[in-house]
Amino acid sequence: MSRVSLILAALLALCAPAAARAGGPGFGNPLQNGCGTIYLVDDMQDPSYFVSNAHSMTVKLCDSLCKQAAAECAQVVKESAACTFKAVSKAEFFADAACADADGGSPSDLKTCKSNVHVNVASVRAEFRGFLITELGRCTSWGTDCVTQCATLGM
């Protein structure tokens, strides 16, 4: 495997959101370990369970708490995503720097290496933006489901 391939493999190992969600490579993944997860809804209580333990509250209070929880979910997802995008940029910086002596450091090798890094990083960012949009939608859906469950309190 050429040094360019190793650099790109290392960049993708550091940046790939799928690897972050799955636990990443054995040496540690700064995106997962440093930024938390955008998959927050996976760790939230099911709305029906959340509401079933709120039997003494009013529907209005229940609705309010559900909306607050959904808004907090979205905020945490956005903060985690911002951290992840920063980590991707840092990984890109280090991969670019490592390109300086890739495959002998000729100008064409350097240009090819940096181009490959930027193409891969752009792909990672685009994929992660898709994950982010999905997860923000899941926070909204959780809130909607929770509010729907609140309506059962008055029954």
Identify which has the larger pLDDT, 64 or 104: 64
- Counted domains in the chain: 1
CA distance 57 to 5: 59
Q: Is the pLDDT of residue 136 over 90?
A: yes
Summarize pLDDT for 32-51 with one digit per residue, the tens. 446 778 888 888 888 888 78
Q: Which domain holds residue 98?
A: 3-154
Claim: this prediction has a pTM higher than 0.75:
no
Contacts of 120 (CB under 8 A, 6+ apart): 8, 11, 12, 15
Closest by CA to 131, choosing from 37, 55, 23, is: 37
* pLDDT, mean of residues 51-59: 77
